[in-house]
Amino acid sequence: MQTLVISTPQDYIPVAIQAVVALAFVVVVIIASNLLGPKRKTEEKLKNFECGIEQVGNARRPYSVKYFLIAILFVLFDVEVIFMYPWAVNFRTLGAFGFWEMMVFTIILLAGFLYVLLKGAFNWQKREE
Amino acid sequence: MISLSDITQWIHKMLFQYLNGTVAYGAELVLAGVAVIALVVAMAIIMVYAERKFAGFFQMRWGPNRVGKWGTLQAIADTVKLMLKECITPNNADKPMFKLAPIIITVVGFLALAPFAFAKGIVLWDMNIGVFYVTAISSLSVIGILMGGWASNNKYSLLGALRSGAQIVSYELSAGLSIAAIIVMSGSMSLNDIILAQTDGWWILRGHIPAIIAFVISIIASTAEANRSPFDLAEGEQELTGGYHTEYSGIQFALFFLAEYTTMFILAMLNITLFLGGWMPFHIPGLTVFNHIMDFIPGIVWFFGKTFFILFLMIWFRWTFPRMRIDKLLKLEWKYLLPISIVNLLFAAFITLMGWHF
Amino acid sequence: MAALISIAVFGIALLYIELTNSKKIQLPLAVVGLLVTLGLTVMQWNHPSSSFNNMAVTDNYSVAFNASILLSTMFVVLLSAYYYEDVKQHVAEIMALMLFTVFGAFLITSFSNMIMLFLGIETLSIPLYVLAGSKKFSLRSNEASFKYFLMGAFASAILLLGITLVYGASATFQLSAISDYVNNTKQLPGIFYMGIILILVGFSFKVAAAPFHFWTPDVYEGSPTLITAFMATVVKIAGFAAFYRLFSSAFSSIATFWEPLLWGMIILTLLISNFAALLQKGVKRLLAYSSISHAGFLLLGIIALNKLSAGGIFYYTLAYSLATIPAFGVLILVKNHRNSDDSIDAFNGLAKKNPLLAIVMSVALLSMAGIPITAGFFAKYYIFVAAIDSGYILLTIFAVLAAVLGVFYYFRLLNAMFLKEGEAEKIKIPVVFGISLLITTILTLAMGVFPDYIIKLL
């Protein structure tokens, strides 16, 4: 049988210290590089790179709505995937009941997936009207 | 024979001998953190060299061969060069965000290393949610990428960041599902427990069909998540100059580069931990003699051997497959890998339920 | 439970129908789905049960409200056949979204746990945001959708914060446990009172009661007319069912705290809505303000908080829905006929060439105004009786005055239809549309003549 492990805030100290060490490493490297490297700034150099031609317009422009669609769908499905993790851990104790429950859940999930698929959310080419 | 845990035990004893408890504990953790970072940096340098040498081999040329014997010091020379370069922040850029992006992406990469068990007993942070922690933290790197791409105020950067964001985010789904298939089999999210559950054989062998499917999907997803070719269209040089790090130079660029290799490294380690037994030697139940011979090879060798095998696979992919187009890339994930991995998860659950794995 | 599953399954089925582009079976399927669900709902009458670990309770109260929600939805869906005749895409999706809204409505009429309340309100609201913007290329519709979304999101957040504070004080989400907590605690903490205020505010947003009604006219005007009819009826029924359920069970013991707040809100709602309605030129906006004023009358039932209120609220919401749907239905026909002109002048001389439409509209308006032999009269009567029974005599007198004021603007429309001259032509009434209009009108009259059958249910 599984033993119940309860985590306390103290268990997270290693990660906190690692975060501090990692941050310190990055910051030290950046500062060191800034001290070592030259600083000769000219106007041309500080312009945005655009293959050598003069910059045209601004980069803050609208982009394809498909990316939003992907982001939204990701959020939807990722929540379901995360929901599966605790189920997966406890699967052996849940047994057949857990399997059939997840079967129902997956069928509903796949029904939604099929709808999205048939609706053409993953077709990146322009739809022929 | 001196194993790695002997060394760590010795350091542990030394620290607690000369310092009081709390300070020693803290110092130990700091040491461990530094060691992990040193490991990653060393790995990255080795990987850059290996990648270029392999590239030369695949393309029938020499690769780096000027700096040091067989060009071995080439990567170190490059690192030093990047250190000494000027860091340019474009005038139009969103400066705080521009400077924060490489920091975030690198720190996140280092953080994700915490729960890995490199050898028996060598684990910085053995947590019951290890796998979950790795996937959660490493998915944060997409924020760094989007930040960098957006803050650069450059069209190439923006496009690269968007593509990269969409790609990483998409492939995370099937990667997460194939990880879940292994969690179902081993019944734990702690990386250490997962490795210990493979004492009698690695999951890829014991779990047969579902585990192999999950492994293949996971390798594809890892390659995509690391923005590696054939999924490297986020930084496709021919069309986007440099992708999301077009505007970065000097050490900031180096940090992005490092983060990429860190991601690769983490994903390779995650894959071998889940499917290939981590540091666990190759065991066949019943063959005691064989198992003992295998045990003679230290765990750390097994671990890094397997990791390098996966990394070699990724390098191999790079010089074998042509780059994909963004729509085909997303189609591959959403239309094929995602449904397959969902069904595969259920299949793995079924196998586990019936006890049909070895 | 069975009804919930049935409505969800039919909603999903409709989504898939959309993909096959078989336009002919969408409407029958939606109607069949609603009828099946209605059957399953009515079967639960006098068979109370609880589901989801006692988080939702199906009792006669919820069955009655669910049935009236289903009826209203059915009439709206019947109207949609004509309304979306020229629309090529998304019609089945709109119906599916309506069914999902009904799903949310079911949850909030039968909740016995605050979590369920919040889930239900979200499930109710999110399809509505989309529905409000379902006329994709109309700027007004988009604006309505966006306004509704922002306001609704704020309202949900405020409601959720209220629920959280109540939980923080009482450590439970269960309504009965909260009620016990209120009864057994001598000194209730401040956060509990704050929580009640926030929940009250959240609900007032949802049911469009002043001073949180500002979104209503814009959203009702901008949304497609059919969706406005849907929002004005189904959402209002569900909202008031949940409102009364929550405040009559969990917070009934500290009515002395929230009743003064509600008292002020009623006065404000009746004042603002009736005076604003007098000034309106567009019929749609007029109906929006009239819907706010009805919210004011309905709040009387909640403030009364006695054994008459549940029946009164049920009767009122049903009567109001049965009047609102034909009113919007006639508006759709007239508006389409007059090149989307929905001012009162568009109704000039309607009675000459289209007596049927004029009669349907008049019955609806008279019912809304509360004139006898229509359902609206008894609706107001029962609510007033309930309020007087609890001693709110001053408030009732005020409400009666407001009702009299309401008669003015309803009669402006009647005046336009029957007494003014206009260049009206014969408007062709599609069959399904006509059925929906006729049934609702007949039901309105029947409820006005035989009110006992309805009022005795609860």
Task: Give the residue from chain A lying closest to C8, CA to CA.
Answer: A108
pLDDT band at C74 (very low <50, low <70, confident <90, very high): very high
Task: Give me the pLDDT at residue C296, please.
Answer: 92
Given CB atoms, is B267 within the 8 Å cutoff of chain A?
no
Given CB atoms, is A115 within the 8 Å cutoff of chain C?
yes
Given CB atoms, is A65 within the 8 Å cutoff of chain C?
no
Handedness of CA B305, B308, B313, B319 (dihedral sign): negative
Quote the tokens at residue A80: 């379901």
**Residue B2 or B183, more confident:** B183
Neighbour count for residue C413 (Cβ, 10 Å): 20
Residue whose entry in the numeric block shows the structure tokens 């759709």: C332
Angle between helices C114-132 and C139-170 (to 10 degrees): 170
Stretch C290-306: mean pLDDT, rounded? 91
Residue C57 host element (H or E): strand C56-58
By the 10 Å C-beta count (0-12 exposed, 13-18 middle, 19+ buried), C247 is classed as buried
Residue to substitute from B152, B342, B356, interface A, most A β-carbons within 10 A: B342
pLDDT band at C196 (very low <50, low <70, confident <90, very high): very high
**Residue C272 or B114, more confident:** C272
Closest CA to B194 of B321, B279, B109, B314: B279
Could B33 and A22 be called an inter-chain contact, meaning their C-beta atoms sit closer than 8 Å? yes
**Residue B207 or B109, more confident:** B109
Q: Report the share of chain A in percent with pLDDT over 90.
A: 0
Stretch C62-77: mean pLDDT, rounded? 92
- Cα separation of C360 and C442, whole Å? 9
The yes-or-no verdict on residue B57 having pLDDT over 60 is yes
Could B30 and A91 be called an inter-chain contact, meaning their C-beta atoms sit closer than 8 Å? no
User: Which of A47, A99, A113 has the CB atom closest to B350's CB atom?
Assistant: A99
pLDDT tens for C146-180 read 999 999 999 999 999 999 999 999 989 999 999 99
Residue A46's SS3 state is coil
Task: Give me the pLDDT at residue C156, please.
Answer: 92
Could B166 and A71 be called an inter-chain contact, meaning their C-beta atoms sit closer than 8 Å? yes
Task: Give the residue from chain B lying closest to A91, CA to CA.
Answer: B184
Residue C51 host element (H or E): strand C49-51
Residue at B293: amino acid letter: I
Given CB atoms, is A111 within the 8 Å cutoff of chain C?
yes
Q: Contacts of residue C19 in chain A, CB cutoff 8 Å? A: 115, 118-119
Stretch B283-292: mean pLDDT, rounded? 79
Stretch C111-133: mean pLDDT, rounded? 91
Stretch C349-361: mean pLDDT, rounded? 87
Given CB atoms, is A31 within the 8 Å cutoff of chain B?
no
CA distances from A5 to A10, B204, C392 (A): 14, 28, 59
pLDDT band at B237 (very low <50, low <70, confident <90, very high): low
Q: Contacts of residue B129 in chain A, CB cutoff 8 Å? A: 7
Task: Give me the pLDDT at residue A5, please.
Answer: 58
Handedness of CA B6, B8, B9, B13 (dihedral sign): positive
Q: Contacts of residue A118 in chain C, CB cutoff 8 Å? A: 19
User: Which of B152, B251, B345 has the CB atom closest to A30's CB atom?
Assistant: B251
Q: Report the share of chain C in percent with pLDDT over 90.
A: 45
How far apart are the CA of B3 and the nearest CA of chain A, in angstroms? 23
The yes-or-no verdict on residue C127 having pLDDT over 80 is yes
Chains B and C: 3 or more CB pairs within 8 Å of each other? no
The 3 state secondary structure assigned to A74-126 is: HHHHHHHHHHHHHHHHCHHHHHHHHHHHHHHHHHHHHHHHHHHHHCCCCCCCC
Q: Residue B183 in contact with residue B133, Cβ under 8 Å?
A: no
- Cα separation of C443 and C428, whole Å? 23
Task: Give me the pLDDT at residue A38, please.
Answer: 79
Stretch C36-52: mean pLDDT, rounded? 89
Q: Which chains touch C (3 or more CB pairs under 8 A)?
A: A
pLDDT band at A127 (very low <50, low <70, confident <90, very high): low
pLDDT tens for B4-50 read 667 777 777 777 777 777 787 778 788 888 888 888 888 888 888 88
Task: Give the residue from chain C lying closest to A119, CA to CA.
Answer: C19
How far apart are the CA of A4 and the nearest CA of chain C, in angstroms? 25
Residue to substitute from A65, A107, A115, interface C, most C β-carbons within 10 A: A115
Residue to substitute from B251, B266, B336, interface A, most A β-carbons within 10 A: B251
Task: Give me the pLDDT at residue B231, please.
Answer: 80
Task: Give the residue from chain B lying closest to A109, CA to CA.
Answer: B342
CA distances from C47 to C40, C57, C457 (A): 12, 11, 14
Given CB atoms, is A119 within the 8 Å cutoff of chain C?
yes
The yes-or-no verdict on residue C307 having pLDDT over 70 is yes
Could B34 and A21 be called an inter-chain contact, meaning their C-beta atoms sit closer than 8 Å? yes
User: Which of B30, B92, B113 has the CB atom closest to A17's CB atom?
Assistant: B30
Closest CA to C191 of C175, C220, C168, C211: C168
Q: Residue A67 in contact with residue B165, Cβ under 8 Å?
A: yes
Residue to substitute from B110, B252, B255, interface A, most A β-carbons within 10 A: B110
- Cα separation of B319 and B55, whole Å? 7
Could you say which residues from 81 to 120 on chain A have a Cβ atom under 8 Å away from some Cβ of chain B? 81-82, 84-85, 88-92, 95-96, 98-99, 102-103, 106, 109-110, 113, 117
Report the range of poorest mean pLDDT among C12-26, C174-188, C245-259, C391-405: C12-26
Task: Give me the pLDDT at residue A128, please.
Answer: 47
Percentage helix, strand, coil for chain C under 3-state DSSP, each rounded to 5: 80, 0, 20
Residue to substitute from B78, B133, B183, B192, interface A, most A β-carbons within 10 A: B183
Residue to substitute from C4, C9, C12, interface A, most A β-carbons within 10 A: C12
Task: Give me the pLDDT at residue B8, please.
Answer: 73
Stretch B53-61: mean pLDDT, rounded? 87
How far apart are the CA of C18 and the nearest CA of chain A, in angstroms? 9
Q: Which chains touch B (3 or more CB pairs under 8 A)?
A: A
Neighbour count for residue B57 (Cβ, 10 Å): 13
Residue B123's SS3 state is strand
Q: Residue B253 in contact with residue B99, Cβ under 8 Å?
A: no
Task: Give the residue from chain C lying closest to A118, CA to CA.
Answer: C19
Residue C372's SS3 state is coil
Report the range of poorest mean pLDDT among B302-311, C319-328, C420-429: C420-429
- Cα separation of C89 and C136, whole Å? 11
Q: How far apart are the first and last CA of chain B?
A: 33
Residue C133 host element (H or E): none
Could C19 and A111 be called an inter-chain contact, meaning their C-beta atoms sit closer than 8 Å? no
Running DSSP on this structure, what letter comes out for residue C58?
E
Neighbour count for residue A67 (Cβ, 10 Å): 16
**Residue C23 or C360, more confident:** C360
Give the mean pLDDT of chain B: 83
Q: Contacts of residue A26 in chain B, CB cutoff 8 Å? A: 102-103, 106-107, 255
pLDDT band at B3 (very low <50, low <70, confident <90, very high): low
pLDDT band at B114 (very low <50, low <70, confident <90, very high): confident
CA distances from B47 to B53, B257, B272, B299, B315 (A): 10, 11, 17, 21, 10
- Beta-bridged to residue B117, according to DSSP, are B123
- Cα separation of A26 and A24, whole Å? 6
Residue C420's SS3 state is coil
- Cα separation of B242 and B161, whole Å? 10
ipTM score of the complex? 0.82
Task: Give me the pLDDT at residue C35, please.
Answer: 92
CB contacts < 8 A, A to B, total 208
The yes-or-no verdict on residue C225 having pLDDT over 60 is yes
Report the range of poorest mean pLDDT among A90-104, B287-301, C239-253: B287-301
pLDDT band at B278 (very low <50, low <70, confident <90, very high): confident
User: Which of B173, B241, B345 has the CB atom closest to A77's CB atom?
Assistant: B173
Q: Contacts of residue A11 in chain B, CB cutoff 8 Å? A: 127
Stretch A39-65: mean pLDDT, rounded? 74
Stretch C66-80: mean pLDDT, rounded? 91
Stretch C94-108: mean pLDDT, rounded? 92
Q: Contacts of residue A63 in chain B, CB cutoff 8 Å? A: 158-159, 162
pLDDT band at B165 (very low <50, low <70, confident <90, very high): confident
- Cα separation of B206 and B227, whole Å? 30
Task: Give me the pLDDT at residue B319, please.
Answer: 84
Task: Give me the pLDDT at residue B1, please.
Answer: 46
- Cα separation of C347 and C341, whole Å? 10
∠ CA C357-C358-C364 to the nearest 5 degrees? Answer: 90
Task: Give me the pLDDT at residue C38, please.
Answer: 92
Residue at C322: amino acid letter: L
Give the mean pLDDT of chain C: 89
pLDDT band at B2 (very low <50, low <70, confident <90, very high): low
Q: Residue C72 in contact with residue C28, Cβ under 8 Å?
A: no
- Please provide the DSSP assignment of C165-206 as one string: HHHHHHS--BHHHHHHHHHH-SS--HHHHHHHHHHHHHHHHH
Angle between helices C283-304 and C375-389 (to 10 degrees): 30
Could you say which residues from 12 to 41 on chain C have a Cβ atom under 8 Å away from some Cβ of chain A? 12, 15-16, 19
Given CB atoms, is A118 within the 8 Å cutoff of chain C?
yes
Q: Residue B178 in contact with residue B214, Cβ under 8 Å?
A: yes
